[in-house]
């Protein structure tokens, strides 16, 4: 348990540590382009590696756990004997479906911001691929 907490603390500190060096490593919102601007090399690392790749990697890891969960749910469905077990399994499948959908929504949101938005030619394209996509994510995620 202590090892798990230590790992999460180390990852959290590694994720936030570049923010302490604001003279060489910073990110700011540019109102003209309506995007977060990463003017330094360190800012690009923050945006691409720490935000985009780390987020997508985490979601892909969760996707792998979801696949393992599907296997266990199929096995559990074959061993159901009582009505109470059937009800509980139905509830578990509902929770699983929600987490599975959330995983793909987060990946889609990150891909929209980091891959699709830079290809947009105008301000309305930025607006749709950032603000509207994020609003849809929060609405669909519940």
Per-residue buried b or exposed e for 106-128, using 16+ beta carbons within 10 Å of the residue's own CB: bbbbbbbbbeebeebeeeeebee
Confidence at 68, pLDDT banded by 50, 70, 90: very high
> What's the pTM?
0.65
pLDDT in tens, 70-123: 888 888 888 887 888 888 888 888 888 888 888 888 888 888 888 888 888 887
Report how far residue 133's alpha carbon sits from residue 10's, in angstroms, rounded to the nearest whole number. Answer: 31
Residue 98 host element (H or E):
helix 83-111
pLDDT in tens, 33-50: 777 787 888 777 777 887
């Amino acid at each position: 348990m202590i090892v798990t907490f230590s790992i999460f603390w180390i990852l959290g500190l590694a994720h936030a540590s570049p923010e302490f060096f604001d003279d060489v490593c910073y990110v700011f919102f540019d109102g003209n382009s309506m995007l977060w601007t990463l003017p330094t090399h360190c800012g690009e690392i923050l945006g691409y590696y720490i935000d985009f790749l780390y987020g997508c990697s985490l979601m892909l890891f969760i996707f792998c756990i979801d696949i393992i969960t599907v296997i266990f749910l199929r096995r559990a469905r074959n061993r159901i004997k009582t009505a109470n077990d059937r009800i509980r399994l139905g509830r578990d499948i509902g929770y699983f479906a929600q987490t599975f959908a959330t995983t793909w929504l987060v990946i889609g949101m990150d891909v929209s911001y980091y891959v699709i938005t830079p290809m947009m030619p105008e301000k309305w394209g930025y607006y749709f691929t950032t603000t509207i996509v994020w609003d849809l994510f929060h609405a669909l995620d519940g």
